[in-house]
Amino acid sequence: MKTPLEAPPEQIKAETGTKSEKSAASVIDTSKMSAGKAAALELAESSRDPLDERGSFASNLFVGKFTFDRIFPWPEQSAEDKTAGEAFLAQLKAYLHENVDADEIDRTGEIPQKNIDDLFAMGAFAIKVPKQYGGLGLSQVNYGRAAMLFGSWDANLTALVSAHQSIGVPQPLLLFGTEEQKAKYLPRVARKEISAFALTEMNAGSDPANMSLRADLSEDGSAWILNGEKLWCTNLIKAGVLVVMAK
């Protein structure tokens, strides 16, 4: 399907063509970087959605290309996956309706600790974390269905549980963590500890490359010392563990 809003074909070709065969990392000079920095950069670049015929609907939007055939007909959740999420979603819905007073949370500005404890016990903070680490092991689609339930009932809880497991510690660990990191942190963030994500700074938001917070190794090499300042860190005041983006 083509719409009048779509960018001209030459522009799309110019913006996607160079990236289709090579990963962007291969055009960045990594020769003067430390091995760790070069490896981190290449991992980040290779994780990009390709901006070509393999790209997703969303990634193509960034080059003005509307690939509607990727979203129509809308992909249905498989019956098997739906069944896997059903019991948890029913439990979550009943819990929210019977035990979460969204107006009271808005009035007081506080989420009762009992709600947090109950949701941890239910696995609502670890929906996609595999069972071996204490999570529910459900799919991204079932996670999305849970987010819809939270969103239909209370925006405060929605931000709490989604910041925790969308940008907080569980998701980056699942994607990029070593087995040792997963074994150490996933059980904690699955069942007892809220996490948060610290990227934004005064001069860095949409453009993370602009950030200035530094991670310096301590003299004895036993710890990283963070020097700098972060802003707008959802969940920070309740978090026991953070993902911190640093240079």
Rounded to a whole number of angstroms, the minimum distance from the CB of residue 47 to ligand FAD is: 18
In the complex, residue closest to ligand FAD by CB: 205
Distances in whole angstroms, Cα of residue 151 to Cα of each of 39, 51, 96, 106, 145: 38, 31, 11, 14, 10
Which SS3 state, helix, strand or coil, does residue 123 take? coil
Tokens 């929605």 appear where? 158
Q: Minimal CA–CA distance to 137: which of 88, 188, 197? A: 88
With respect to ligand FAD, which residue has the nearer C-beta, 60 or 234?
234
Rounded to a whole number of angstroms, the minimum distance from the CB of residue 126 to ligand FAD is: 18
Residue 143 is inside which H or E element, if any?
helix 140-153
Rounded to a whole number of angstroms, the minimum distance from the CB of residue 226 to ligand FAD is: 14
The DSSP 8-state label assigned to residue 221 in this structure reads S
Q: What does the binding site for ligand FAD look like in residue numbers (CB under 6 A)?
A: 163, 196-200, 205-207, 232-234
With respect to ligand FAD, which residue has the nearer C-beta, 138 or 194?
194
With respect to ligand FAD, which residue has the nearer C-beta, 127 or 198?
198
Cβ atoms within 10 Å, residue 164: 25
Rounded to a whole number of angstroms, the minimum distance from the CB of residue 132 to ligand FAD is: 28
With respect to ligand FAD, which residue has the nearer C-beta, 134 or 154?
154
